[in-house]
């Protein structure tokens, strides 16, 4: 009986250590999400878009967009504090071609300390599910994640760096970020 | 006998020179050629270029749209097998061909149309070098282009349309 208890305790300790390890790993990576596991959905998706803009690339954009041109100036200002923009879009021909388990790898990271869900919209009629998460550092927003899970489409947007939520909608349609009607969503809040 | 020796030495020098010339080809040429050679196996290309490279155009220095410093372009047409579709293999080929300095910007794939676009970039001087590989069911292009930073920044605002925008600017 003692041996049995000892084994249970050992197993529990092992599971605890693994969970803590995963949590620390997620915490250590900051606002940048590990999106690689979604890549297997590309085999099932009818349309796939994968955009990766790292810090260096964004700095070039921020430095060389022209302040004199209004459209470029607004974006230049908005991306000045960004360190990365990562977008994955998967479009499927039929509903049910991806499972919630496929998105779980992302949700696990968004459940770690540091991430807070600020918007969650779920439509039973359409099956649409939009969630916006922020990553806080020193009380300031230092990252953002948008998860849109429709029955036939999955969109994950991960923005790393200081971002002004008021101007977030300006990024829609830019840097590979699809139009998500965030401004409309804000008006409905 | 002396004549034979002389000819052997000449032949050896020639072989050595040719080998050196190939080994000293810039890394960027090798990367471009490697990708082009992969597509060459899938298409009966039409080209006005020489037999060594499947280059339909090698126009560097001739045409230079604003912001585009130099470029290499290979166009492939007429797939060897009808209904040919490039699947995930292309991504591996391109990644293997490109050196460590390149980072992926865009990957688009449509199973509906069979189109696939891969875009990689790396810093080059004060600008950026971009490798664009576009594959469609009936044709394909490999385009390596050096961009000034302003032009790169402009294209970057719509990275998913970069391939189309650059090729359109080259027309």
Residues A11 and A66 in one domain: no
Handedness of CA A174, A176, A178, A184 (dihedral sign): negative
Place of tokens 């961009």: B147
Residue B22: pLDDT above 50? no
Report yes or no on A165 lying in a domain.
yes
Subunit contact A57:B105, Cβ cutoff 8 A: yes
Looking at residue B44, its pLDDT comes to 83
Q: Which one has a higher pLDDT value, A56 or B15?
A: A56
Residues A24 and A78 in one domain: no
- How many structural domains comprise chain A? 2
Residues A38 and A103 in one domain: yes
Give the Cβ contact number of residue A69 at 10 Å.
Answer: 12
Looking at residue B67, its pLDDT comes to 66
Residues A20 and A99 in one domain: no
Q: Note whether B149 contacts A: Cβ–Cβ < 8 A.
A: yes
Element containing residue B34 per DSSP (H, E): helix B27-40
Residues of A in contact with B153 (CB under 8 A): 60-65, 72
The CA distance from B51 to the nearest CA of chain A, in Å, is: 35
Residues of A in contact with B118 (CB under 8 A): none
Q: How many helices (H) and strands (E) does chain B have?
A: 5, 5
Interface of A with B in 134-173 (CB under 8 A): 173
- Give the C-alpha distances (Å, rounded to integers) separating A177 from A48, B134, B159: 13, 21, 10
Subunit contact A53:B88, Cβ cutoff 8 A: no
Residues A114 and A163 in one domain: yes
Nearest to B157 among A42, A45, A175 (CB): A175
Residues A163 and A90 in one domain: yes
Strands A47-53 and B103-110: antiparallel
Q: Do residues B56 and B74 lie in contact, with contact meaning Cβ atoms separated by under 8 Å?
A: yes
> Could you tell me if the ipTM is greater than 0.90?
no
Subunit contact B111:A174, Cβ cutoff 8 A: no
Residues of B in contact with A75 (CB under 8 A): 157
pLDDT band at B79 (very low <50, low <70, confident <90, very high): confident
Report yes or no on A186 lying in a domain.
no
Element containing residue B93 per DSSP (H, E): helix B89-97
In this prediction, residues A139-158 reach a mean pLDDT of: 94
Residues of A in contact with B103 (CB under 8 A): 52, 54, 56-57
Nearest to B158 among A42, A64, A174 (CB): A174
Subunit contact A176:B109, Cβ cutoff 8 A: no
Report yes or no on A183 lying in a domain.
no
Residues A19 and A90 in one domain: no
Task: List, in order, residues 6 or more apart from A181 with CB less than 8 Å away.
Answer: A172
Q: Do residues A44 and A97 lie in contact, with contact meaning Cβ atoms separated by under 8 Å?
A: yes
Q: Note whether B82 contacts A: Cβ–Cβ < 8 A.
A: no
User: Which residues span the domain enclosing A24?
Assistant: 1-30
Report yes or no on A97 lying in a domain.
yes
Residues A68 and A129 in one domain: yes
Range among A71-75, B84-88, B134-138 rated most confident:
B134-138
The CA distance from B132 to the nearest CA of chain A, in Å, is: 14
Question: What average pLDDT does the structure give for chain A?
Answer: 83
Instruction: Out of A11-15, A158-162, B109-113, pick the least confident.
Output: A11-15
Report yes or no on A158 lying in a domain.
yes
In tens, the pLDDT along B105-133 reads 999 999 999 899 999 999 988 889 999 99
User: Looking at residue B134, what DSSP letter applies?
Assistant: E
In this prediction, residues A99-111 reach a mean pLDDT of: 92
Interface of B with A in 86-105 (CB under 8 A): 88, 103-105
How does DSSP assign A91-106, residue by residue?
E-SSTTSS-HHHHHHH
Report yes or no on A105 lying in a domain.
yes
Looking at residue A184, its pLDDT comes to 56
Residues A56 and A139 in one domain: yes
pLDDT band at A3 (very low <50, low <70, confident <90, very high): low
Looking at residue B12, its pLDDT comes to 54
CA gap B110, B133 in Å, rounded:
14
Residues A71 and A87 in one domain: yes
In tens, the pLDDT along B31-68 reads 999 999 888 888 886 553 334 444 444 444 444 556 67
* Distance in angstroms between the alpha carbons of the first and the last residue of chain B: 59
Looking at residue B66, its pLDDT comes to 64
Encode A112-177 in three state secondary structure.
CCCEEEEEEEECCCCCCEEEEEEEEECCEEEEEEEEEEECCEEEEEEEEECCCHHHHHHHCCCCCC
In tens, the pLDDT along A113-139 reads 999 999 888 877 777 788 999 999 988
Residues A77 and A133 in one domain: yes
Residues of A in contact with B149 (CB under 8 A): 60, 63-64
Residues of A in contact with B154 (CB under 8 A): 65, 72
The pTM for the full model equals: 0.78
Looking at residue B19, its pLDDT comes to 44
Interface of B with A in 26-65 (CB under 8 A): none
In this prediction, residues B134-153 reach a mean pLDDT of: 90
Residues A4 and A75 in one domain: no
Question: What average pLDDT does the structure give for chain B?
Answer: 76
Q: Do residues B98 and B30 lie in contact, with contact meaning Cβ atoms separated by under 8 Å?
A: no
In tens, the pLDDT along A58-94 reads 988 888 888 888 888 888 888 888 999 999 999 999 9
Report yes or no on A177 lying in a domain.
no
Nearest to A50 among B106, B110, B150 (CB): B106
Report yes or no on A129 lying in a domain.
yes
């Amino acid at each position: 009986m003692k041996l049995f208890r000892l084994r249970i305790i050992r197993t529990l300790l092992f599971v605890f250590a693994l969970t803590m390890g995963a949590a620390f790993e997620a915490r250590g990576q900051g606002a940048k999400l590990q999106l690689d596991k979604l890549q297997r959905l590309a085999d099932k998706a009818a349309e796939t878009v994968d955009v990766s803009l790292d810090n260096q690339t964004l700095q070039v954009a921020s430095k060389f967009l022209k302040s004199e041109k209004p459209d470029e100036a607004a974006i230049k200002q908005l991306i000045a504090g960004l360190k990365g923009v990562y977008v994955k879009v998967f479009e499927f021909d039929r509903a049910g071609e991806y499972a919630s388990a496929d998105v779980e790898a992302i949700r696990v990271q968004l459940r770690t300390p540091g991430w807070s869900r600020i918007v969650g919209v779920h439509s039973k009629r359409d099956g649409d599910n939009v969630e916006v998460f922020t990553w806080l550092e020193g009380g300031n927003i230092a990252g953002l994640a948008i998860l849109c899970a429709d029955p036939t489409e999955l969109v994950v947007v991960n923005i790393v760096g200081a971002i002004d939520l008021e101007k977030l909608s300006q990024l829609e349609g830019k840097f590979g970020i699809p139009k998500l009607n965030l401004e409309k969503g804000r008006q409905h809040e | 006998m002396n004549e034979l020796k002389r000819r052997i030495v000449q032949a050896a020098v020639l072989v050595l020179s040719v080998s050196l010339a190939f080994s000293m080809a810039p890394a960027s040429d090798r990367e471009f050629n490697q990708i082009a050679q992969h597509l060459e196996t899938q298409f009966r290309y039409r080209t006005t270029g020489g037999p060594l490279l499947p280059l339909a155009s090698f126009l560097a220095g001739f045409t230079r749209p604003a912001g585009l410093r130099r470029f290499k372009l290979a166009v492939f047409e007429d797939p060897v097998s009808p209904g040919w579709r490039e699947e995930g293999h292309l991504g591996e080929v391109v990644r293997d061909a490109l050196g460590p300095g390149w980072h992926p910007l865009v990957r688009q794939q449509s199973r509906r149309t069979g189109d696939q676009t891969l875009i990689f970039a790396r810093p080059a001087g004060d600008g950026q070098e971009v490798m664009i590989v576009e594959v469609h069911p009936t044709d394909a292009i490999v385009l390596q282009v050096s961009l000034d930073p302003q032009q790169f920044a402009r294209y970057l605002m719509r990275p998913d349309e970069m391939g189309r925008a650059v090729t359109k600017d080259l027309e």
